């Protein structure tokens, strides 16, 4: 009888727990912000431009419902550059022009900034491809804003810092990240500069690795003379650009051929799915090169990734050993808990390696953990991007930096063990140092203002 009662209670308890979880998520999304932590942040006015569907508010200084001719007449005096770009665009030069109110609406007190859904009213194929990218998971353009606002550090860090992130993550919520308004010129979006506005910097050095490759050097030397009005198909371009390879044929999807999840995690390159992806890459490279050469390049990429993860796992093993011996200082319980993480408060634990969440540990970590983070997020991705873009010098540079990072981690670990041994022999018990780390101008400001 008792076991029957237990069998009855357990499913009921599980049902209640799941229901409570769904209710909590629904509640947490009901604040003035968006995402999982919407109750814990409020949007600045600029958020209306990064995420217009949720936050844009039309100006109230002008009242009335206007036809396109009046919009153009007024804005020729207020914003003549916008009107000039529109007149030069396909929207303006079409036999059936796309006017201001087609995209923004006619009621001046209820205007909208166009979102992908608005553009999709006409550009159904491109919008469908863009939305379909979600099935490939992170990272991808269509999920970029969700990735930002669902991150715990988005809520905790000062707004001035996270706004610099959202500028690029807004590629999910508006098309003018790639097609600048009001020209919306496909020729402009085909050039690599349209991509490197965001795809640059230590975590994703696509710009420097591409421009250092043979493809990039040819583009820099001759690209200004190419006819960028041509479609992204075989024979139209002397060298490939970002869009040619990642949006081949003009396909509005960049995640569909990712072999190594952009270098962020180790994968098995020989799964049936990745075998299909490899064939797609070989076919694409075959537009200009022998397919056997393309296979060789992919094999070299696999070998580079194997070398990289050997170094990364070696660093992770060192950190895990330090954690087991309670030698990471400050320990997780002696530093501010990770933002918005109730588990971190109940069970402080150092996050080591990609699968434990080291990818999210931008701050509030010990020095040696930060060394690993930069090794994984900066040096590793620099090596991967170089390998993927054909920049061999960048590959070697990235691996030299990874080796140097690993050497620093080994040296610091040795020093920590030596210090611990010395303290034990001298029967010294180190005093808890959490007060040093729990307080400070940055931490205190965050507590009060975020």
Q: What is the pLDDT of residues 137-165, one digit of tens each?
A: 888 999 999 989 988 878 877 777 788 88
**What's residue 360's pLDDT?**
56
pLDDT digits (tens, 9 = 90+) for 180-231: 899 999 999 999 999 999 999 888 899 999 999 999 999 999 999 999 999 9
Cα separations in angstroms, 130 against 99, 117, 140, 185, 389? 24, 10, 9, 18, 24
Asked whether residue 308 carries a pLDDT value surpassing 70, the answer given is yes
CA angle 120, 122, 127 (to 5 degrees): 30
Asked whether residue 323 carries a pLDDT value surpassing 70, the answer given is yes
How much of the chain, in percent, has pLDDT values that exceed 70? 93
pTM exceeding the 0.85 threshold for the entire prediction:
yes
From first CA to last CA, the distance across the chain in angstroms is 53
Give pairs for 97-100: CB < 8 Å, separation 24+: 98/122, 99/68, 99/71, 99/72, 100/68, 100/71, 100/72, 100/75
Average pLDDT over residues 375-402: 95
Average pLDDT over residues 160-180: 90
CB 174 within 8 A of CB 113: yes
Q: Residue 65's beta-bridge partner residues?
A: 107
CB 304 within 8 A of CB 383: yes
| Spacing of C-alpha 85 from chain mean position | 30
Phi, psi of 435, deg, nearest 5: -65, -35
CB 167 within 8 A of CB 197: no
Alpha-carbon distance 255 to 120, whole Å? 20
Confidence band of 428 (pLDDT split at 50, 70, 90): confident
Average pLDDT over residues 88-110: 94
pLDDT digits (tens, 9 = 90+) for 347-374: 888 888 878 876 557 677 888 999 999 9
**What's residue 285's pLDDT?**
94
254 against 161, higher pLDDT? 254
254 against 172, higher pLDDT? 172
**Residues contacting 16, CB < 8 A, separation 6+:** none
Alpha-carbon distance 106 to 251, whole Å? 32
Q: Residue 107's beta-bridge partner residues?
A: 65
**What's residue 349's pLDDT?**
86
Alpha-carbon distance 272 to 9, whole Å? 43
Place of tokens 């009888």: 1
How much of the chain, in percent, has pLDDT values that exceed 90? 61
Average pLDDT of the chain, as a whole number: 89
**What's residue 265's pLDDT?**
79
- Tokens read off for 153: 């550090």
Domains of the chain, residue spans: 199-255, 293-449
CB 97 within 8 A of CB 58: no
Phi, psi of 247, deg, nearest 5: -130, 45
Asked whether residue 376 carries a pLDDT value surpassing 80, the answer given is yes
What SS3 state is found at 107?
Answer: strand
Phi, psi of 65, deg, nearest 5: -110, 125
Confidence band of 258 (pLDDT split at 50, 70, 90): confident
Count of C-beta atoms within a 10 Å radius of residue 325: 12
Domain 293-449 class in CATH: mainly alpha
Alpha-carbon distance 342 to 337, whole Å? 8
């Amino acid at each position: 009888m008792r076991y029957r009662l237990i069998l009855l209670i357990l499913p009921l308890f599980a049902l209640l727990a799941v229901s409570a979880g769904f209710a909590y998520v629904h509640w947490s999304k009901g604040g003035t912000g968006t995402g999982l932590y919407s109750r814990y942040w409020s949007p600045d006015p600029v958020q209306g431009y990064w995420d217009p569907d949720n936050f844009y508010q039309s100006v109230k200084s002008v009242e009335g419902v206007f036809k396109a001719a009046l919009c153009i007449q007024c804005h020729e005096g207020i914003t003549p550059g916008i009107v000039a770009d529109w007149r030069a665009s396909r929207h303006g030069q079409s036999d059936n022009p796309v006017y201001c109110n087609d995209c923004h609406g006619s009621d001046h007190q209820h205007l909208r900034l166009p979102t992908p859904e608005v553009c999709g009213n006409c550009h159904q194929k491109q919008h469908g491809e863009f939305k379909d990218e979600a099935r490939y998971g992170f990272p991808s353009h269509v999920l970029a804003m969700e990735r930002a606002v669902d991150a715990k550090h988005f809520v905790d860090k000062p707004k001035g810092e996270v706004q610099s992130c959202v500028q690029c993550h807004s590629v999910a919520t508006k098309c003018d990240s790639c097609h600048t308004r009001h020209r919306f010129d496909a020729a402009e979006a085909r050039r690599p500069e349209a991509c490197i506005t965001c795809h640059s910097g230590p975590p994703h050095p696509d710009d420097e690795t591409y421009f250092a490759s043979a493809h990039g050097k040819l583009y820099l030397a001759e690209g200004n003379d190419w006819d960028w009005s041509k479609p992204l198909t075989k024979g139209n371009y002397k060298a490939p650009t970002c869009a040619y390879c990642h949006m081949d044929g003009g396909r509005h999807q960049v995640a569909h051929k990712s072999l190594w999840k952009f270098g962020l995690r180790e994968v098995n390159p020989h799964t049936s799915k990745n075998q299909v992806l490899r064939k797609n890459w070989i076919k694409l490279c075959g537009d200009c090169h022998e397919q056997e050469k393309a296979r060789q390049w992919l094999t070299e990429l696999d070998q580079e990734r194997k070398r990289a993860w050997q170094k990364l796992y070696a660093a992770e093993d060192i950190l895990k050993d330090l954690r087991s011996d309670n030698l990471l200082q400050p320990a997780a319980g002696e530093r501010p808990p990770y933002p918005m993480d109730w588990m971190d408060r109940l069970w402080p634990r150092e996050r080591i390696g990609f699968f434990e969440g080291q990818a999210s540990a931008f701050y509030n970590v010990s020095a040696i953990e930060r060394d690993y983070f930069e090794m994984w997020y900066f040096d590793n991705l620099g090596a991967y991007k170089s390998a993927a873009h054909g920049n061999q010098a960048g590959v070697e540079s990235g691996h030299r930096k990874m080796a140097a990072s690993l050497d620093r981690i080994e040296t610091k670990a040795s020093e920590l063990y030596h210090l611990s041994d010395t303290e034990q022999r001298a029967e010294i018990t180190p005093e808890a140092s959490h007060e040093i780390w729990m307080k400070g101008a940055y931490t205190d400001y965050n507590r009060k203002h975020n």
